[in-house]
């Protein structure tokens, strides 16, 4: 019979292993010596030790699932419980029990990690939904559309939640995208309609602009072109493929008209500049008639100058007031001289002026007498009132005397 600390072989070749519960039969050995039998079953034990060690390493260092780890533990435990090896089986059971605890701890850790990841994923998806719902009301079509596509890619990279929660959030997310797409489609449909209407309006404006391009009714046509331009701006933009062509035609028609007008106006401006020079010379000639010393001669000379003035055409508008003002000043001076001469030589007017002066002088003298009398009587209030009336009459008298002087007396 042969034995070691963990097993023995009896006379019949039966191999035993020692455990805390007593000896257990390992098997029968007939092929060699008892020492060889013990060595064989000890090697099988070492194989279990190695297998447990490898499993411990996998559990600690890899992402081996708890289910697979437990299956591997159960498989080894079946071999340990079968007692087909010789060695410290109780130590193996302790290691397997600890390994079970480790697997369970890892299971709980992963469960907590999954719960945390799920919570983070829920918050992330809720944030994506909130942003998508806000973007669904945006009018920034390109930027919002690009952002929504980016949100979809972000969503796909997040873990799934429980089916109910994930479906509810996805429904809201999808609804927000659909709402935005619907609004964008409606916007561009409306925009297309507006651009088509703008194209029709601008076609009409172009036709009219081209029809007016050869007009020589400069003022009315230029005003109409300004109105057409205002209508063009109010019409909005047509489709891109039409807008530039329509604008080039519209602008080209205006250019033809305004180029022709500029040419005509340039000729007119040159003519008016020459007219201005002639009228300035006549104004200078008229101004030499002042001051008037011989009314008859001045009147005849001015009439001659004015006839030549009227024969000259238009001058530039901005220069007209000044040059015409010079002629009007001479004309007014001659008229004033005529009026003065008339007043001086009109006997009826002189008689009327003398009569009025005499009446006013009598009234003034009378008032002065009344004022002296009132003051002598101590009636200052009446005297002051009469004095105010006297001041007014005196002013009229002074004016009448000045007029009488104009008649030479």
| pLDDT tens-digit series, residues 210-223 | 998 899 998 899 99
Q: What's the pLDDT band for 170 if we cut at 50, 70, 90?
A: very high
More reliable by pLDDT, 352 or 81: 81
Question: Quick check: 389 pLDDT over 90?
Answer: no
Distances (CA, A) of 383 to 132, 372, 376: 99, 8, 10
Decide: 205 and 235 in contact? Cβ < 8 Å. Answer: yes
| pLDDT value at residue 21 | 85
Tell me the C-alpha distance between 38 and 3, whole Å. 8
The proportion of the chain whose per-residue pLDDT surpasses 70, expressed as a percent, equals: 96
pLDDT tops 90 at residue 10: no
Q: Is the pLDDT of residue 408 over 80?
A: no
Band of residue 43 on the pLDDT scale cut at 50, 70, 90: very high
Indicate the burial class of 321 (C-beta count within 10 angstroms; 0-12, 13-18, 19 or more). exposed
- Number of alpha carbons in the 13 Å side-chain half-sphere of residue 19: 20
As given in the structure block, the two tokens for residue 21 are 């519960």
pLDDT of residue 272: 87
CA-to-CA distance for 95 and 60, rounded, in angstroms?
14
Q: Which tokens is 99 given?
A: 């390994």
pLDDT-derived band at 209 (thresholds 50, 70, 90) equals very high
Report the run of H or E that residue 9 belongs to, with start and end.
strand 7-9
344-373 b/e (C-beta count within 10 Å ≥ 16 → b): eeeeeebeebeebbeebeebbeebeebbee
* Whole-structure pTM value: 0.43
> Is pLDDT at 173 greater than 60 in this prediction?
yes
318-365 per-position pLDDT tens digit: 988 998 898 899 889 888 888 877 777 766 666 676 777 888 888 888
Please say whether the dihedral angle defined by the alpha carbons of residues 374, 378, 382 and 386, taken in this order, is positive or negative.
Answer: positive
Average pLDDT of the residues in 90-102: 93
Segment (H or E) for 18? strand 14-19
Q: Is the pLDDT of residue 256 over 60?
A: yes
| β-sheet with 22-28: strand ranges across | 2-4, 7-9, 14-19, 22-28
pLDDT at residue 85, as a whole number? 92
> Which residues does residue 14 pair with via DSSP β-bridges, in sequence order?
28
> What's the confidence (pLDDT) of residue 380?
87
Cβ distance 350 to 403 under 8 Å? Answer: no
Q: Average pLDDT over the chain, rounded to whole?
A: 88
What phi and psi values does residue 26 have, to the nearest 5 degrees? Answer: -90, -45
Looking at residues 290-304, what average pLDDT do you find? 89
């Amino acid at each position: 019979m042969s034995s070691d600390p963990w097993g023995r072989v009896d006379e019949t070749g039966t191999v035993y292993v020692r455990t805390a519960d007593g000896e257990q039969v390992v098997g029968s050995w007939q092929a060699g010596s008892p020492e060889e039998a013990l060595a064989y079953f000890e090697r099988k034990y070492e194989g279990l030790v190695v297998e447990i060690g490898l499993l411990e390493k996998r559990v600690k260092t890899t992402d081996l699932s708890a289910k697979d780890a437990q299956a591997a533990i159960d498989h080894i435990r079946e071999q340990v419980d079968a007692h087909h090896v010789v060695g410290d089986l109780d130590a193996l059971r302790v290691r397997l029990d600890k390994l079970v605890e480790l697997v369970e701890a890892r299971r709980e850790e992963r469960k907590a990690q999954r719960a945390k990841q799920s919570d983070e994923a829920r918050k992330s998806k809720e944030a994506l939904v909130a942003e998508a719902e806000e973007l669904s009301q945006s009018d920034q079509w390109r930027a919002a559309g690009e952002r929504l596509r980016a949100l979809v890619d972000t969503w796909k990279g997040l873990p799934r939640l429980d089916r109910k929660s994930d479906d509810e959030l996805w429904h809201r997310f999808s609804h927000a995208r659909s709402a935005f797409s619907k609004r964008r489609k409606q916007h561009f449909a409306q925009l297309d309609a507006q651009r088509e209407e703008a194209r029709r309006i601008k076609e009409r404006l172009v036709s009219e602009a081209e029809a007016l391009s050869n007009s020589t009714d400069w003022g009315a046509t230029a005003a109409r072109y300004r109105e057409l331009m205002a209508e063009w701006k109010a019409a909005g933009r047509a489709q891109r493929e039409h807008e530039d062509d329509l604008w080039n035609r519209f602008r080209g028609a205006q250019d033809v008209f305004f180029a022709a007008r500029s040419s005509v106006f340039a000729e007119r401006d040159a003519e008016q500049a020459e007219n201005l020079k002639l009228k300035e010379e006549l104004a200078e000639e008229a101004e030499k008639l002042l001051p008037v010393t011989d009314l008859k001669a001045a009147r005849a000379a001015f009439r001659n100058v004015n006839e030549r003035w009227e024969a000259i055409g238009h001058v530039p508008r901005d220069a007209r007031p000044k040059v015409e003002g010079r002629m009007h000043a001479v004309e007014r001076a001659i008229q004033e001289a005529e009026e003065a001469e008339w007043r001086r030589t009109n006997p009826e007017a002189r008689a009327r002026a003398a009569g009025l002066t005499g009446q006013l002088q009598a009234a003034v003298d009378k008032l002065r007498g009344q004022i002296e009398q009132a003051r002598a009587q101590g009636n200052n209030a009446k005297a002051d009132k009469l004095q105010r009336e006297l001041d007014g009459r005196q002013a009229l008298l002074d004016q009448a005397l000045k007029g009488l002087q104009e008649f030479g007396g």
